[in-house]
């Protein structure tokens, strides 16, 4: 399954589940090609299983599924903790401006932490909401 971010408006899956701007949707198709201004591909990473229940569970066989931010990639044959990262899930692809400047962004729950280079300590001691990450990076670079 591929992961896509809803860029604009809302999307209703085949099973009737509603997704709003900013939600991450899992779907086997190419939503970013079918709806180019509505979805952005986040990754082709392995299917994710949420550690906690999904934000909006989808139950359709062919429908999309929202994955909670606290998700762990499940690689076939891997040990249960092999794909975990203590910093959370890598959300850097969601913030291209931060990635261009060499930052990595990780999410734990609904909070995001920005890391500079290979540092193991985030440059923002308090977690940021998704909407605040780009502004934080811009301010940090101006300092």
pLDDT in tens, 81-106: 434 577 888 888 889 888 888 899 98
Q: Is the pTM of this model over 0.85?
A: no
Residue 49 has pLDDT above 90, yes or no: no
Query: CA–CA separation, 14 vs 18, rounded Å?
Result: 10
Q: Give CB contacts under 8 A, 24+ apart, made by 48-57.
A: 48/3, 48/72, 48/73, 48/74, 49/74, 55/23, 56/17, 56/18, 56/19, 56/23, 57/17
Query: CA–CA separation, 120 vs 74, rounded Å?
Result: 23
Mean pLDDT along residues 102-129: 88
Tell me the domain boundaries of the chain: 2-73, 89-142
Residue 43 has pLDDT above 60, yes or no: yes
């Amino acid at each position: 399954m591929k992961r896509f971010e809803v860029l604009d408006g809302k999307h209703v899956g085949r099973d009737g589940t509603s997704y709003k701007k900013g939600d991450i949707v899992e779907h086997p198709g190419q939503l970013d090609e079918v709806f180019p201004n509505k979805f952005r591909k986040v990754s082709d990473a392995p299917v994710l299983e949420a550690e906690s229940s999904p934000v909006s569970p989808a139950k359709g066989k062919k429908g999309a599924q929202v994955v909670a931010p606290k998700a762990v990639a499940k690689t076939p044959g891997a040990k249960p903790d092999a794909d975990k990262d203590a910093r959370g899930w890598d959300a850097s692809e969601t913030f291209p401006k931060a990635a261009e400047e060499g930052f990595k962004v990780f999410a734990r729950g609904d909070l995001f932490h920005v890391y500079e280079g290979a540092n193991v300590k985030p440059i923002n001691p308090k977690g940021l909401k998704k909407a605040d990450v780009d502004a934080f990076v811009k301010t940090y670079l101006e300092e």
